[in-house]
Structure 1
Amino acid sequence: MSYKNGKDILPPSLLKQLQEYIQGEIVYIPKREQKRAGWGENNGTRLIIERRNKEIYRLYKSGWTILELIQSYHLSEDSIRKIIVKTRDVMSNTAT
């Protein structure tokens, strides 16, 4: 964020109005409200992880052991178990 002089960027009528409320101080003007993208939505990371998690769940359902998944995906046992439980719940909710 950079400092801008109101005299350089604001119309004189607006500057005069603002001077009725504040003079010689720094004021932060927030951006307009906008919907922020969720984590990983803009760069595709969220989609990549969702696909990976579905693949881990599919492999687990097809007979892979937790240990094989740990070694293949380089994740902790706790992470693999959480992925399996969460993905199973998501898949069962979308199937109904």
Structure 2
Amino acid sequence: MNYKNGKDVLPHRLLKELQHYIQGELLYIPKPDQTRALWGELSGSRTTIALRNKEIYAEYNSGRSVKDLAESYHLSEESIRKVLTKLRSHRQEVSSITK
């Protein structure tokens, strides 16, 4: 996060209005919601986890047990079940839309 001096970047009228509320302190101005990246989008974590979850789902459908998948992916059995439930419901939604 970069520090910017308000008198260098804000119109004089807006600076005066802000000084009415806050003076000589730091003020964080967040990005509008529509411009904020979702968790993991910038780092690639979101994509990595989505690919991992698809692999888990495919391996489960090929006959691997929840316990075996949990050990292989270093996740709890409950986490594996959550992945399977989420992907199963997502695939059902997609198939009902395409029919």
Residue by residue over 1:3-58, the C-alpha shift from the partner in whole angstroms, topping out at 9 and shown as x without a partner, is: 7373xx268x827x728x64x92263725635200001112111111111111011
Aligned to 2:23: 25
Cα-Cα RMSD: 3.0
State the distance in 2 between where 1:58 and 1:32 align: 38
Report the structure, 1 or 2, having the larger helix content. 2
- Partner amino acid for 1:54? K
Identity %: 34
**TM-score, structure 2 length as denominator?**
0.71
Q: How many residues align?
A: 90
Cα distance change, pair 29–40 in 1 and its aligned pair in 2 (3 A): closer
- Partner amino acid for 2:82? K
Matched, 1:60 2:69: no
State the distance in 2 between where 1:92 and 1:62 align: 18
Consecutive unaligned residues of structure 1, counting only runs of 5 or more, are none
Question: Which has the bigger relative contact order, CA under 8 A and spacing at least 6?
Answer: 1
Which one has the largest radius of gyration? 1
Cα distance change, pair 10–39 in 1 and its aligned pair in 2 (3 A): closer
Consecutive unaligned residues of structure 2, counting only runs of 5 or more, are none
